[in-house]
Chain A
Amino acid sequence: MKIAEKKALKRESIIQTALQLFSTNGFHKTTIPDIATKLQMSVGNLYNYFSSKDILAQEIIKYTSEALGEKIRVVNMMDVSAEEKIHKIVTVYFTMAQDKPEMIEYFLRVYLSNREVFKDGCDGMVCVSGFITEIMIFFDDSVSSGELRNQDFFSAFGLFMGYLGGMVFLKGEEVLPKGIEFYIDDISRNIYNALKA
């Protein structure tokens, strides 16, 4: 394996470990030595990959956004109706919340809750563009095909993603009486009914 490939793998393992720790213990309670210890590497070596904890946090949000964006991109490429795409996007989101809860938890409990960490370098939608772009494409396609009603982007985006984020937040708080997958059908139908033309 080439050195560059080894470094890329190491970089990704740092991101995944830090993602776990930040999501579970919180951004401020997790230190760089905590992350280095879990990875069995020296603090100095970890700084060779990320020069600060804030920069590591910013790279993680890009990483999670790209990961979610890639899955939605697959849905966007499918030749199915907007209603079916909504169902698939909800499934993708809730499955990720179930199988890799740290990915969504990071967005809700680190990214949205510690804005000062992200203000320089992750202004606005800069670090979540991988995900936002795919949602834009989904809306654009669905309005072009006449399936969804044309409206302001943010009124539709807020309804869709706010709803999903809220449900995953409730799951994280352990207040949902049923597993999150139970809600996929109803929530997909609710979103479609709210957005359809």
Chain B
Amino acid sequence: MFITPKPTLLWLQAITCNGNTHSFLNHPDLFSILSHFEIVHHPSLESSYTMEDVINGEVPCDVLILEGSFIDEGFLKAGVEVSSLIHTYATKAKHIISAGTCATFGGIFKQKDPENISGFCFDLEEKTSRYDTYASKLISLPGCPMHPKWMSYVLLMLAANKKIAIDNLHRPVELYGYTVHTGCTRNEYFEWKIDTKNYGLKEGCLFYEQGCQGPYTRGSCNKILWNDISSKTRAGTPCFGCTEPTFPKASLFHTQTNMGIPAKMPLGVPRRAYLTLTGVVKSFKIKRFTTRLLEYDE
């Protein structure tokens, strides 16, 4: 009787805050998911090989998870350029998962040196010189951080040898085919163009004044909830667009408007169509949407 060896999994970090590592550690079924793999190295979990083994290039690698922004030269671990380590294992790997917006598009750390720091295969939305070499095995999981269940979806699909449908930026369509707006509990307020009066309130939409980017940000934060409970917009904080190549933007708590008209339209919605609806909808006052959902005692 033969036992099929588990695929080996290597988690490598480049320029990172560890946010995606921590996010994934929050997965309620973490060890069940990881039981499908042999963890050869992970920054926070017990693993079969040391960092020294990794640096020596001796570690097997079927699935490579990359975390953090990429730079060709100048970011070293134990005296070795991390970029060369990444190339070594990216060549060996059957699958490469870029975990988080930094590894995917450049993200927050790109701000430090926009000329030289990028994602591994994308620099914002542009393909890097590495793209052609690794594109066939690349899966992008942008997010700051990525949702732990986005990672588990990909890992379990790989473990089961299932094909993952991806878009032009290599994001799984099951996870990024939606906008963050999909499933937002404030959608009625969005439809009737009623803005919220403050952060943290249950009532009102955050798109019109508070800077919410949910209607034009790809992600399933309001479908696959954070901690199985909530999301930014459900809790009353605007979506910051953290999965997008353009993340981070400035003025995250403020909607840029031109004479009261949002400067950026919901994804794929023509401006003329949006404004026609707006003009019509704003003509009505629906009492239910102007009152509190709950009246709290003083």
Residues of A participating in the B interface, judged by any CB pair closer than 8 Å: 123-126, 128-130, 132-133, 136-137, 139-140, 143-144, 148, 150-154, 156
Nearest CB to that of A130 among chain B residues? B276
How far does the Cβ of A127 sit from chain B's closest Cβ, in whole Å?
Answer: 9
A137 CA / B260 CA spacing, docked (Å): 11
Q: Is B280 an interface residue (CB 8 A)?
A: yes
Taken together as a complex, chains A and B put the C-alpha atoms of A185 and B259 apart, in Å, by 25
Are A133 and B276 closer than 8 Å at their CB atoms? yes
- The 6 lowest CB-CB distance pairs between A and B, nearest first, are A124-B283, A143-B258, A153-B260, A129-B279, A139-B259, A140-B258
A143–B256 Cα distance when bound, in Å, is: 11
Residues of B within 8 Å of A139, CB to CB, are 258-259, 261
Tell whether B257 is near chain A: CB-to-CB under 8 Å: yes
- Are A151 and B284 in contact, CB atoms less than 8 angstroms apart? no
In the bound assembly, the distance between CA atoms of A132 and B278 in angstroms comes to: 10
Closest residue to B273 on the A side, CB-wise? Answer: A133
Interface flags for B256-298 (1: CB within 8 Å of A; 0: not) read 0111110100000001100110111011100000000000000
With contacts A143-B259, A152-B259 taken as known, whether A125 is within 8 angstroms of B271 at the C-beta atoms is no
A-B contact pairs, 5 of them (CB 8 A): A129-B279, A136-B278, A140-B259, A140-B263, A140-B271
Interface of B is mostly: mixed
Contact partner, A150, options B259, B276, B282, Cβ 8 Å: B259
A136 contacts B280, C-beta separation under 8 Å: no
Q: Given contacts A143-B259, A153-B260, is CB(A125)–CB(B279) below 8 Å?
A: yes
Which residues of chain B are near A123, meaning CB under 8 Å? 283-284
CB proximity of B65 to chain A, nearest CB, Å: 41
Contacts of A137 in B (CB 8 A): 271-272, 275
**A contacts with B: majority SS:** helix
> Are A125 and B258 also in contact (CB < 8 A) when A133-B275, A137-B272, A144-B263 are?
no
Contacts of B257 in A (CB 8 A): 150
Residues of chain B within 8 A (CB-CB) of A151 are: 259
Count chain B residues whose beta carbon lies closer than 8 angstroms to a beta carbon of A: 16
Most A CB contacts (10 A, CB to CB) among B257, B260, B272, B282 go to B260
Interchain CB contact under 8 A, A136 and B261: yes
Besides A136-B279, A140-B261, A150-B259, 4 new A-B residue pairs in contact (Cβ under 8 A), listed by A number: A125-B280, A125-B283, A140-B275, A148-B259
Instruction: Give A36 to B257 CA distance when docked, in angstroms.
Output: 48
Taking a contact as CB atoms under 8 Å apart, the answer to whether B259 and A156 are in contact is yes
Question: What's the Cα separation between A70 and B263 when bound, in Å?
Answer: 23
Measured between alpha carbons, how far is A132 from B276 in the docked complex, in Å?
8
Q: Are B272 and A133 neighbours in the complex by a CB distance under 8 Å?
A: yes
- Max chain A Cβ within 10 angstroms of own Cβ: one of B258, B276, B278, B282: B258
Minimum CB–CB distance for A24 against chain B, Å: 29
Partner of A132, one of B258, B259, B279: B279
8 Å CB interface, B20-73 against A: none
Given known A-B contacts A133-B275, A137-B272, A126 and B261 have beta carbons under 8 A apart: no
Q: List, in ascending order, chain B residues with CB within 8 A of A154's CB.
A: 260
Residues of chain A contacted by B283 (CB below 8 angstroms): 123-126
In contact, A129 and B280 (Cβ under 8 angstroms): yes
0/1 per residue, B225-255, Cβ < 8 Å to A? 0000000000000000000000000000000
- Residues of chain A with a CB closer than 8 A to B263's CB: 140, 144
The smallest beta-carbon distance between A61 and chain B, in angstroms, is: 13
B residues less than 8 Å from A148 (CB atoms): 259
Does A152 lie within 8 Å of B279, measured CB to CB?
A: no
Q: How far is B263's CA from A130's CA once the two chains are assembled, in angstroms?
A: 20
Q: Quick one: which of A140, A144, A153 has the most chain B CB within 10 A?
A: A140
> A92 to B237, alpha carbons, bound, how many Å?
45
Q: Is A144 a contact of B258 with CB atoms below 8 Å? A: yes
CA distance A44 to B246 in the complex (A): 62
Q: Bound state CA distance, A154 and B257, in angstroms?
A: 14
Cα A129 to Cα B282 in complex, Å, equals 11
For residue A144, which residues in chain B have a CB less than 8 angstroms away from its CB?
258, 263
Question: Which residues from chain A contact B272 at a C-beta distance below 8 Å?
Answer: 133, 137
Closest to B256 in A: A150
A152 touches B260 (CB 8 A): yes
B112 to chain A, nearest CB (A): 30
**Distance in angstroms between the alpha carbons of A132 and B274 in the assembled complex:** 12
Shortest distance between the CB of B194 and any CB in chain A (Å): 14
